[in-house]
Structure 1
């Protein structure tokens, strides 16, 4: 799911907050700067964004923010301008504002990866997942991110010459990569801690299989994963891909010994 649409941003500005002679609500340049830390818990400098008026700067800030920051800004607007603070800020419009904020918080928090070391299948699966996430929600995208991770692990093994069985599971592929890929053989000072994190990631990957098989639309399951469970799985999968791709991208392809 993506953040706010352009039409929704303009609704917040023009219809909910209100604009007069280019000024946004009762914001001055000073109170606009103070709004983000005071009402949104965000460190944003309006002077670093384009625009001459508070309206133009607010539009630039809200339009460029990540969904989770958009949600914080909308909640800040609701706090500064509650229902009834002006005749056009009705209970219905106030509830609509909070619904927009809630929708933004329901977006997957981890950005969709664009892995460098990936096959065409991986990129297609990730694109499909992003589309399904936006249009139909995280439960619909769960199967495709699972496919993307499985295909990515296969591609990573093939790239560095690790021989993997055709039917190897994601857990087995990740285990082979951890044991044989040279990027995991360095002598860093935090190896023990990193090894524990990697073991935990292996457990996460292992848990994705039953969730996908029994709780996604990959099969005619009667009990699907909940929205929050699907978001958790998508964020975890994206995190694994991002971490592995960062590690693998630092190494030249090598044949396993």
Structure 2
């Protein structure tokens, strides 16, 4: 059995600090040294069991979109969240995250505020007639999510799409789900290799956009060896979908969108991209 666990912490710097362009790297540095979580953070798996989201301050997530610097003042309280999938539930996992941490970005006090947990098999985002998907941090949906298994995706150029086409959203979530699920929990439509593609195609039929507000955004992810800024481009905002009833597939769609509320969607969830909130309207 797989469990989904989400933990939220307050983080307070001892002194004024300059934050990295991806503020999720503060938490990533702390978790890399954790005896159990560290292996998940360092994993080279394509679809990781862990998502680490950026610092949250005054109603917005902190990430850099240009050459300027971001700071956090001494004693100013921000928060962050990370979520993971695991077949074990051990409270000591969170107790072993220290309250006082020293990082390359400064010294911080960390306080556990909230833990949410559910079984993977129980997670749902009820659809109803309409559903709203809010992309809270820049989201990277690859065109390769909808490459059929009989086509060699490696030969195709990877591009991030700037519109959340339902097929890309659902195909991404199906890949994440089946990578963390036990054999009894996997979602399969006929052939397992074809399942993400098939669910994506069905999603394009089931979901129709009836409202949206989306903004393309370029995010700084670091610097290359020559000191030049490395950037990637995604989008944030929201889309309201009208849902066409298809009883055979509704449960699978609700499971996948429920998963999105924990682990997010798309590429680079481990460094802060793809945090979403799915709600029935």
Tell me, yes or no, whether TM beats 0.5: no
Larger Rg: 1
Structure having the higher helix fraction is 1
TM-score, structure 1 length as denominator? Answer: 0.22
Higher relative contact order (CA 8 A, sep 6+): 2
* Larger strand proportion of the pair: 2
Query: TM-score scaled by structure 2?
Result: 0.20
